[in-house]
Amino acid sequence: MRTRAWLVLGVPVAWAIGSAHFQAAAPAAAAGRPALQGQAPGAHPRNVVFILIDDLRYDGMGFVQPEVKTPNIDRLARGGAYFPHTLVTSSLCSPSRATILTGRTTRNHRIVDNNDSSEEGLVFFPSYLQRAGYQTAFLGKWHMGQTSDGPRPGFDKWVSFMGQGEYYPREGLNLNVDGRRVPQKGYITDELTDYALEWLRKQRDPRKPFFLYLSHKAVHTDPLPAPRHAHQYDATALRIPASAANTPENYRGKPMWVYNQRNTWHGVDFPYHTDVKMTEYLKGYYATLSAVDDSVGRLLDYLKDTGLERDTMIVFTSDNGFLIGDHGLIDKRNAYEGSIRIPMVVYAPGLVPAGVTNPGRFSTLDLAPTFLDLAQVANPPQFEGHSALPLWTGRVAAGDWKPEDFVYEYYWEWNFPMTPTTFAIERDRMKYVQYHGVYDIEELYDLAQDPDEMRNLIDDPSQLQTKIALRKALFEKLADARGQRAVPFTGRFSRGVVRRNRGASGAAPFPDAWLVEPNRPDRFDDLFPDSEAKLQAEREGRPFFPLPPSARRQ
């Protein structure tokens, strides 16, 4: 973990909160609020401000990385808990957002990529909060459905835009405000914050608890900072990971697609088909984050000034991670740590312990169950995750927190053909990754020993049983709600971003271990399941499956 400064590893005390907390004397802000259906007498629900950033890297916060200036997010972390082991089940905007909103995996909600507009039949968790008496608002990037920016079920207030939206206003660019076309007037992060504060101050019903879903466009590519931050990082040296270098050590044991991607739209040699260095790109990226940080400060000040802070949880996170050269890659999609880890800070004075780093693992699949748990609303049967509230509050210490296997899925997008369909599973800090539809190697990492994923253990004889067990578990868990396994695809409308920089890196060679002479006596062995017996035969230099006479060639 790359935590620094004042944060302390582990949760210091086992807080006995849980249901007892909800029976404590109601703060002034909740006084007079009627008990909601299904809640214990005297209980009062929590308000939630959910701040979702787009493509913010897990370590892209000042309290983790001192070069980055995020004083208000740091305030949240000082007064709340930081969870460095928070993961996304699909590292891509639309599938990940759909998972957060529906509590379902991509294989079940079926928003399989950024081209997929199908929201039919999906129920978004704020609907359940509404039924329980909450007032709900959605502000910002929705990015599911390419055909409508209109209000969706589950929200009393709606401010959104088509697709990715834009940082700055231009002629004809509109927001959708409660179904009406309203011109975008200013810088998008500031404008969304203005709408959020206006709703909190003037539009919501103060007698009801609220859930504010603030979904920023920032810091998605191409990041454009607010003018006040444009030169904030001009003199700052920002670093990229050592694995960005094109060296034999960095590519030892790596799949071929990883090397092949370095000179593409999503590679460090040709980032978004430009010659921009990632160290320079990051200056604009973090300057764009600064308006988000201002937004956090404005919201926090409002909650403090009104006394609502004692009764409100703030959750700060991102829809996916972001690679900045890790393994020669940029952006997201793959199952490497920089892609699937996200920032996560939870601030709720009196409920969530302050100033701690909590290593317990949970994922975006667990957010909807957590929010419903906080509101004391029963989970609907289609939810696939579990409430992380016991971990967040410290009721279950990180050391006693035993999450289920984490399962990852990404489906090949024709627009960005350099990243294959990817499935992964993490159990007890061992991560196994396999690729679908390409001729390439699997990966197995011991994240406890090798957090940067530099030593692929897939062919390490001592890991044979782990490999076999994780392959089996991954296959079993990838069954969808109908018990089926289907790799989806969406319709093409172009060849996709296939260009390469003529002057940069080329194609990967096949792994040396795969290059052999003809007529080997063990040439059928790979047709048989991996086992100790097969490994023993390999150790002894004999074929596991002796060739029948008809297949022998001298």
Please state, in angstroms and rounded to a whole number, the distance separating the CA atoms of residues 308 and 209.
10
Cβ-based nearer residue to Ca ion, 319 or 384: 319
Selection from 429, 395, 375, 548 nearest residue 14 by Cα: 395
SS3 of residue 161 by DSSP:
coil
Cβ-based nearer residue to Ca ion, 358 or 363: 363
**Which range of residues in 27-35, 87-95, 155-163, 351-359 is near Ca ion by CB under 5 A?**
87-95
Selection from 528, 40, 94, 456 nearest residue 254 by Cα: 456
The DSSP H or E segment spanning 370 is: helix 367-374
Which residue from 7, 47, 48, 54 is in contact with Ca ion, where contact means CB under 5 A? Answer: 54
528 burial (CB, 10 Å; 0-12 / 13-18 / 19+) is: exposed
Least distance (Å) between residue 480 CB and Ca ion: 23
The DSSP H or E segment spanning 471 is: helix 464-477
- Residues 447-466 binding Ca ion (CB under 5 A) are none
- Indicate the residue whose CB is closest to Ca ion: 93
Would you tell me how many other CB atoms lie within 10 Å of the CB of residue 160?
Answer: 22
Which residue from 113, 319, 337, 440 is in contact with Ca ion, where contact means CB under 5 A? Answer: 319
Least distance (Å) between residue 364 CB and Ca ion: 11
Kindly list the distances between the CA atom of residue 13 and the CA atoms of 84, 86, 353, 373, 414, in Å, as whole numbers in the listed order: 19, 21, 8, 22, 49
Please state, in angstroms and rounded to a whole number, the distance separating the CA atoms of residues 412 and 87.
20
List residues bridging with 461 in a β-sheet.
none
Cβ-based nearer residue to Ca ion, 130 or 320: 320
Under rule CB under 5 A, residue 309 binds Ca ion: no
Cβ-based nearer residue to Ca ion, 217 or 386: 217
**Which range of residues in 46-54, 62-70, 277-285, 349-357 is near Ca ion by CB under 5 A?**
46-54
- Residues 353-372 binding Ca ion (CB under 5 A) are none
Please state, in angstroms and rounded to a whole number, the distance separating the CA atoms of residues 168 and 191.
10
Cβ-based nearer residue to Ca ion, 100 or 348: 100
**Which range of residues in 55-63, 165-173, 193-201, 209-217 is near Ca ion by CB under 5 A?**
55-63
Residues that bind Ca ion (rule: CB under 5 A) add up to a total of: 5
**Which range of residues in 89-97, 118-126, 293-301, 423-431 is near Ca ion by CB under 5 A?**
89-97
Least distance (Å) between residue 56 CB and Ca ion: 9
Under rule CB under 5 A, residue 93 binds Ca ion: yes
Which residue from 99, 264, 320, 379 is in contact with Ca ion, where contact means CB under 5 A? Answer: 320
Confirm if 425 and 434 have CB atoms less than 8 A apart.
Answer: no
Least distance (Å) between residue 215 CB and Ca ion: 10
What phi and psi values does residue 489 have, to the nearest 5 degrees? -150, 160
The DSSP H or E segment spanning 465 is: helix 464-477
Under rule CB under 5 A, residue 55 binds Ca ion: yes
Q: Which two tokens stand for residue 353?
A: 């312990």
**Which range of residues in 263-271, 316-324, 349-357, 486-494 is near Ca ion by CB under 5 A?**
316-324
Cβ-based nearer residue to Ca ion, 320 or 357: 320
Cβ-based nearer residue to Ca ion, 117 or 382: 117
Q: In the complex, which residues of this chain contact Ca ion (CB under 5 A)?
A: 54-55, 93, 319-320
